[in-house]
Amino acid sequence: MSELDADFLALPLDTLADAALQHARTAGASHADLRVQRMRGGQMVLRDGRLSSASDSTDSGLAVRVLLDGVWGFAATDELTPEAAVRAAEQALEMARISRPLVQERVELAAEPVHRNVEWVSAYRRDPFDVPVEDRAAQLAGWAATLLAAPIVDHADLSVNLAKEQKYYADLAGTVTRQQRLLIEPEITVLAIGEDGPETMRSLGPPTARGWEYLDGDGWDWAGEVAQLPELLAERLRAPSVQAGDYDLVIDPSNLWLTIHESVGHATELDRSLGYEAAYAGTSFATLDGLNSFRYGSELMSVTGDRTVEHGGATIGYDDEGVATQSWDIVSDGVLVGFQLDRAMAAKCGFAASNGCAYADSALSVPVQRMANVSLQHGSSGPGSADASTAELISGVSDGLYVVGDKSWSIDMQRYNFQFTAQRFYRISGGKLAGQVKDAAYQGSTPAFWGSLRALGGAQTYYLGGASNCGKAQPGQSAWVSHGAPSVLFEGVKVLNTRDEGAR
């Protein structure tokens, strides 16, 4: 069982909370919380088998947030002393006092039960920061040597991104939480220079909340993928250019996770739907007045928000407002039935409670509404669908494409019109794969695309993909998030030839 690090628990966490919260209570705050956050990050990059860079850094501090007369105040510091906690509380109170004449809407918070002295630690077996740097480099270098031994591979880049996040939270209501999670993101890219220019092929192993055991094969067959990448790259070089047109697509979850992220995940953040995020990355076509009535997709489409799934990038026990995390429905049988909420947005829009989506990426950041692990449910749990394999989905397509792995993407400012490419596109002819094609991108509008969903793969096709760099807010914040999906069949999707489009 994983445990909280002793050196984090040795910090004067309760003393800092008592100092800050008592000061806020005396000043008349209706709500106040203190968050101590320590984030350790590590990155290693090897280029052609040689160590290019390695870093290991730790940022820590405390933040105080108050509600005074319905107005937020916030302050933070990197000094972890009771005196600094009191100063931060007073600065937060002063910010609320200064802001009060400018604020037209008073903030209220949805109710949340008190969670006293609870702990949560993510599931991992081997802390990567306990693995010596030379051992980490040797493991990546061994993979690089295998790749570079293949004649087709001209260059190989390998990297691993690590994070350990530790948080302490306490508020005036009496909630106190202590939490720790580990996150890891390996990536392997091989490059070959052909007659028509360079081509690349990247690994599909997703970022995940695991330890170093992930690179040893727990959760992904890295050795098997290293062995396959050179031949996949060689096939890409030989592949013909795609013919543009409308195709039935069998989309692998290693690609579909990103489409879910952009067209469902961001679109159902309630603050974005209400217009609070317009200046950064747009609003959303999925508005509150469509709740329980707007048809998002076909009846096979059921999507959940989940901050509890094991190994999820957005998984945590309690959010940064002291809310116990949970799973809930966002789309059910194709209809919009839920949003992602924090406590203020829940109260503002008449929801009974938050679903635990407040998050700050550092001690110096204000908690904002952030994305949960938003996932499409697999076929065995969907209405009227069989527990199909990917091969069975492909066998039902006479003329189409099989889409594998994410690559580039584009979506408009309301999460409505989009375009995605992939690591690999395979031609489907007569229900069988007929080799890779290249220069392809699929395009659509969100409701029409999800409305063309015709079949779902079963549990055996399910994959939890994701990203370590989901961006939001001003000043910008970054977060890890995961998205699960099965293999899926869509009918009549527009496919472009990107080379022809680029020549126009």
How far is it, in rounded angstroms, from Cα 370 to Cα 374?
11
Q: pLDDT of 192-213, one tens digit each?
A: 998 888 999 999 999 999 999 9
pLDDT value for 73:
98
- 360: CB partners within 8 A, 6+ apart: 35, 37, 63, 320, 366, 367, 368, 477
pLDDT value for 281:
83
Cβ neighbourhood burial of 434 (10 Å; 0-12, 13-18, 19+): exposed
Local confidence band at 1 (pLDDT 50, 70, 90 cut-offs): low
Share of the chain above pLDDT 90, in %: 94
Local confidence band at 384 (pLDDT 50, 70, 90 cut-offs): very low
CB 82 within 8 A of CB 12: yes
Local confidence band at 127 (pLDDT 50, 70, 90 cut-offs): very high
pLDDT value for 308:
98
- 469: CB partners within 8 A, 6+ apart: 478
pLDDT value for 296:
98
User: Mean pLDDT across the stretch 303-327?
Assistant: 98
User: Mean pLDDT across the stretch 234-248?
Assistant: 97
pLDDT value for 22:
98
Buried b / exposed e over 225-246, threshold 16 CB at 10 Å, is bbeebbebbbbbbebeebebee
Q: pLDDT of 30-51, one tens digit each?
A: 999 999 999 999 999 999 999 9
**Could you give the 3-state DSSP secondary structure of residue 258?**
helix
Name the segment(s) of the chain with CATH classification 3.30.2290.10.
6-238
Q: pLDDT of 64-80, one tens digit each?
A: 999 999 999 999 999 99
Least confident of 9-13, 117-121, 195-199, 479-483: 195-199
Instruction: Report the chain's C-alpha Rg in angstroms.
Output: 24
CB 35 within 8 A of CB 5: no
**Beta bridge partners of residue 410, listed in sequence order:** 419
Structure tokens at 161: 């991104």
DSSP-derived secondary structure for 422-486: EEEEEEEETTEEEEEEBSEEEEEEHHHHHHTEEEEB-GGG-EEEEEEEEEETTTTEEEEEEEEE-
Which CATH number, 3.30.2290.10, 3.40.630.30, 3.40.50.11740, 3.90.79.10, labels domain 6-238?
Answer: 3.30.2290.10
- Among 44, 90, 81, smallest CA distance to 60 is for 81
- 346: CB partners within 8 A, 6+ apart: 110, 352, 353, 354, 355
Q: Within 13 Å of residue 475, how many CA atoms lie on the same side as its CB?
A: 6
